[in-house]
Structure 1
């Protein structure tokens, strides 16, 4: 997985990203997608009832409504990724859940690259010139092409009763000290561009954000969970988060969602 700090990687001005919307392909979208005009980045992904088909449909709808908006796919399974989603999304964000089980830290990444190596045509599209070079390159070119669009996310899930925790095999939360350690590892060891503290529908407050922020310089700190007001958004950003991630109220209450977008 490539770091977006490296020369030649996809370039994103992360300093311009302060509000992120997480869109669940298995949930209905608001009738008026103009509500997204103030967000900086959209992550498409979810835990339950998500498929490659509804992921692709959602990406297409979002890009049709906002062609200049960054739209990333954030898959919870390699089965959600296809040649079509890779082609349509601006990037594929791949979580590495530090406090999850092995399958959701190392295992899922090995599975993803195993599929690339064994079935490049199925993943990237048999008509692509890239696939024609697969025999000679033994998959290196295919991996390089996909890796250029992969964004690694160091991830800590802090709500044990959430679907995200269940899917990732999370059975314990981290202390603020452990969150700080995970943040430090994300930047100095893994080189991921994003460190994500996820409270999955509950509001965790600024403590974890404050603990992590002091150790991050290049890696961007995302916080998600329970942000349903301007006051909570401000509290998290002032604690040191580079961006807040808002999901539930986007689907459930677009008016409240708009209040979370910083002025």
Structure 2
């Protein structure tokens, strides 16, 4: 399934290291599942999470956001619709460019697991069907531009974020995403705190083709509505899905 970004308004971020709600009917009305987390994520619990979700929602688009190449395998590639590769604008070099290079290099060292072939991808692309197996993976990869705005969050610590962007810088990052990098997603992330509409308004004016995500602290219909009215194409809701499913229901637009 190719993801129709224009059809996405509500995204549920599911952390494989956390327990799922007992009643997954709370997901009725969400448009996409984003599977990923900062701590305790493994290939095994990613697949367990996907299994549980697909049993009830087999047609729901699933986007994997791996924290490292050890979360990616031939099986995960086959099971998800796309794999998001984050590029954190206000993070360190490792989390804008370095991890992308690491991802491809590390994947190249384990071709049996990923592609069912013993042709090494790094240093062996000319041999056999090396180009085909790389294309197999590349067809699922999507760039995901990030601005991480909660400096106290695990995401900020992990990505080496030391400075919160001003709305003007958020706008510049959005423009760079649309006009230069061409990533399909620009994500303003407040990681558990509510940042309000200012950054969304700043980014939205520069985005036409790129989908604008906002995530962080959305735990009511009022906050969801405020962010969408400010210009976000989609809201990303995670914490209350795991912690308070009934509140989570309120965040799904009707």
Q: CA shift at 1:122, angstroms? A: 2.4
CA distance in 1, matches of 2:41, 2:93: 22
Alignment of 1:4-19 (within 5 A): 11-19=2-10
Q: CA shift at 1:69, angstroms? A: 0.4
Tell me how many residue pairs correspond in the alignment.
251
Equivalent residues of 1:236, 1:244 under 8 A apart: yes
CA distance in 2, matches of 1:122, 1:184: 38
CA distance in 2, matches of 1:60, 1:134: 33
RMSD (Å), alpha carbons? 1.9
Q: 2:38 aligned with 1:47, yes or no?
A: yes
Q: 2:173 aligned with 1:179, yes or no?
A: no
Change (3 A) 1:46 1:196: same
CA distance in 2, matches of 1:29, 1:48: 16
Equivalent residues of 1:94, 1:150 under 8 A apart: yes
Q: CA shift at 1:137, angstroms? A: 5.2
TM-score normalized by the length of structure 1: 0.91
Q: CA shift at 1:205, angstroms? A: 0.1
Q: CA shift at 1:257, angstroms? A: 0.3
Q: Which moved more, 1:164-173 or 1:198-207?
A: 164-173
CA distance in 2, matches of 1:56, 1:127: 24
Q: CA shift at 1:193, angstroms? A: 0.3
- Give CA-to-partner distance per residue, 1:85-136, whole Å, 9 cap, x none: 11111111111111111111111100111123333222233499xxxx9663
CA distance in 1, matches of 2:117, 2:56: 29
Change (3 A) 1:181 1:137: farther
Q: CA shift at 1:139, angstroms? A: 3.0
CA distance in 2, matches of 1:108, 1:138: 25
Gap runs ≥5 in structure 1: 1-9
